[in-house]
Amino acid sequence: MLALVILFAYRRPEHVSKALRALRENTLAAESDLVVYVDGPGDSSEEEAVQQVRDVVSGIDRFGSVTAHAREEHLGLARSVITGVTAEIEARGKVIVLEDDHVATPDFLTFMNAALDYYEANPKVFSVSGYAFPLKGYDPAPYSYNDRLMPRSEKVFTNL
């Protein structure tokens, strides 16, 4: 079973649009369920931006299912993420968490689901991450992780 994808958003409609465009281009997007949490405005000056985010979220397509939670009150990032992730993990077991400024590569969902499945029974692993720090002078591999998942991952994963 694929992990639930959760996106946390607030008052940046351009960021949300970009993040969703990237997620929709993922190979597994059409099979993945997406839940979006939009935090409520902190004050009246943020109402328009928060509404714009809600409008972007209301037009999401290309996922197995989409559920949007538009919070009326402002929880703030930490409380929003903690309550949302806790509720979804209790309901689904495993999740992939993104914030509105995260832009995924086209194989991100495939990688994350494979890594979650691979590590699922390993008690030494608490979470997996799809983030790669931008390293100065580093030339990333010219291939997708899909091309070499098991050979590369076995070398890395067996260190645990």
Tens of pLDDT, residues 78-102: 999 999 999 999 999 899 999 999 9
Output the pLDDT for position 158. 42
pLDDT (average), residues 137-154: 48
Tally of domains within the chain: 1
Tell me which residue of 81, 89, 3 sits closest to 38, measured CA to CA: 81
CATH of the domain at 30: 3.90.550.10
Output the pLDDT for position 29. 97
- Give the domain extent around 104: 4-157
Q: Where are the alpha helices (DSSP H) in the chain?
A: 13-24, 47-58, 77-92, 108-119, 149-157
In this predicted model, what pLDDT tens digit does every residue of 13-49 receive, in sequence order? Answer: 999 999 999 999 999 999 999 999 999 999 999 999 9
